[in-house]
């Protein structure tokens, strides 16, 4: 484990950024224009809320990282090489100090960190302001960044290369794409999914001339990639790290990632994610009847679902989480929603292992 003490200059810079972060919470009414909307209407409303952000110079990102991506011990938080506390194998294989270990050149992992465009620059022709938008740029190990290259994120079957923390490169096994992909650790898949949703929404009407990629058309995710990102959004919930980073970036750019503040927005815009079965077949989706509903809701589980207990929640467009009692008979659940106010909700059904989402209209 490498570790260096910060110089006085870096400490001063970090302190100044912390002063910015302290006032960077969600303003009252920030998301009011999005309330009650779904689909393209919701994405458009969010675009109008977060567009026109304060642009940071690309060269200034090194200083921004001091507070957007600092671990509690003061080292660089590299989501491509980190092993979170409490997980198997203990600590990350190496760590970096801000400023001291910037790339430069590298020969292998652990040499230096650089600026990773999680949405690669080649996908948007290195245009502005995308090339310096902090919401998709992270400090990462130079070697791992180089190996990721401009490949899409995906699920790797047999890896052709594996980083020291377990990130992988190889052919994609997720339905819809078989090319080379980069798969990060499970701990950061949700972070990167919500980053992709941000890019699709922040540049919703500003992607003319974007080259695209195997996983994107302009600023929008292709169907296979969208389903994968919706799945990652479900399986790796928002972490305190993401909340802190969102607040800090807001203090600098004066816009936010709505999918960190409201992860349910992803389902209200793009619909249901796939289930834990990792297949796109309708046989693996949660079905709700009737929909719209007024009193009793019937939820039909996929046939292969284990006989585990489930907890049902309705999540409103403003983020209110409403627990709803339900009873189960084999693969069918029943819920009384007569006391729930009319509106549009995301249905979230939790089991011990399984997690399902669907959209509900309550009349």
DSSP 5: P
Peptide bond into 129 cis (omega under 30): yes
DSSP 361: E
DSSP 342: S
Please report, for the chain, the start and end positions of each structural domain, with discontinuous segments joined by +: 38-270, 282-362
Per-residue confidence (pLDDT) for residue 20, from 0 to 100: 41
Indicate the length of the chain as a whole number. Answer: 363
Dist CA 180 CA 260 (whole Å):
28
Per-residue confidence (pLDDT) for residue 195, from 0 to 100: 98
**Cα distance from N-terminal residue to C-terminal residue, the chain:** 58
Dist CA 317 CA 268 (whole Å):
8
Quote the CATH superfamily of domain 282-362. Immunoglobulins (2.60.40.10)
Per-residue confidence (pLDDT) for residue 25, from 0 to 100: 82
**Nearest Cα to Cα of residue 181 among 236, 133, 222, 233:** 222
Per-residue confidence (pLDDT) for residue 37, from 0 to 100: 87
112 and 143 in contact (C-beta within 8 Å)? no
Q: Which portions of the chain are predicted below pLDDT 50?
A: 1-23, 274-283
- Starting at the edge strand found earlier in the chain, the sheet holding 355-362 runs 321-324, 311-315, 343-350, 355-362
Q: How many Cα atoms are found within 13 Å in the side-chain-facing hemisphere of 199?
A: 34
Cα Rg, the chain, nearest whole Å? 21
Per-residue confidence (pLDDT) for residue 21, from 0 to 100: 40
Per-residue confidence (pLDDT) for residue 310, from 0 to 100: 85
Predicted confidence (pLDDT) per residue in 284-336, tens digit: 567 888 888 888 888 888 765 566 688 898 887 666 778 999 988 877 888 99
């Amino acid at each position: 484990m490498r570790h260096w003490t910060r110089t006085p200059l870096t400490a001063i810079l970090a302190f100044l950024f912390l002063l910015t972060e302290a006032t960077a919470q969600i303003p009252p009414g920030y998301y009011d224009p999005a309330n009650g909307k779904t689909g393209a209407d919701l994405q458009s409303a969010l675009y109008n809320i977060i567009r026109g952000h304060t642009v940071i110079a690309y060269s200034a990102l090194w200083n921004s990282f001091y507070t957007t991506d600092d671990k509690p011990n003061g080292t660089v938080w590299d989501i491509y090489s980190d092993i979170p506390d409490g997980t198997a194998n203990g600590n990350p294989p190496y760590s970096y100090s801000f400023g001291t270990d910037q790339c430069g050149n590298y020969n292998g992992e652990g040499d230096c960190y650089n600026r990773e465009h999680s949405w690669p620059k080649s996908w948007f022709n290195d245009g502005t302001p995308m090339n310096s938008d902090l919401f998709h740029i992270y400090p990462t190990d130079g070697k791992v960044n180089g190996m990721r290259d401009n490949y899409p994120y995906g699920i790797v079957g047999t890896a052709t290369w594996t980083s020291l923390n377990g990130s992988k490169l190889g052919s994609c096994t997720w339905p819809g794409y078989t090319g080379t992909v980069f798969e990060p650790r499970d701990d950061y898949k949700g972070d990167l999914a919500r980053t992709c949703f941000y890019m699709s929404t922040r540049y919703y009407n500003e992607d003319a001339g974007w080259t695209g990629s195997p996983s994107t058309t302009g600023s929008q995710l292709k169907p296979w990639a969208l389903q994968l990102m919706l799945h990652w959004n479900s399986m790796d919930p928002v972490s305190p790290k993401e909340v802190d980073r969102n607040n800090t970036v807001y203090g600098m750019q004066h816009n936010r990632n709505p999918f960190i503040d409201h992860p349910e927005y992803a389902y209200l815009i793009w619909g249901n994610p796939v289930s834990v079965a990792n297949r796109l077949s309708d046989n693996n989706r949660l079905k709700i009847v009737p929909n719209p509903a007024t009193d009793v809701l019937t939820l039909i589980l996929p046939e292969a679902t284990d006989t585990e207990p489930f907890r049902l929640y309705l999540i409103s467009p403003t983020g209110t989480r409403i627990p709803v009692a339900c009873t189960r008979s084999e693969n069918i659940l029943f819920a009384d929603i007569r006391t729930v106010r009319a509106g549009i909700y995301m249905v979230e059904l939790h089991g011990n292992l399984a997690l399902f989402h669907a959209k509900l209209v309550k009349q």
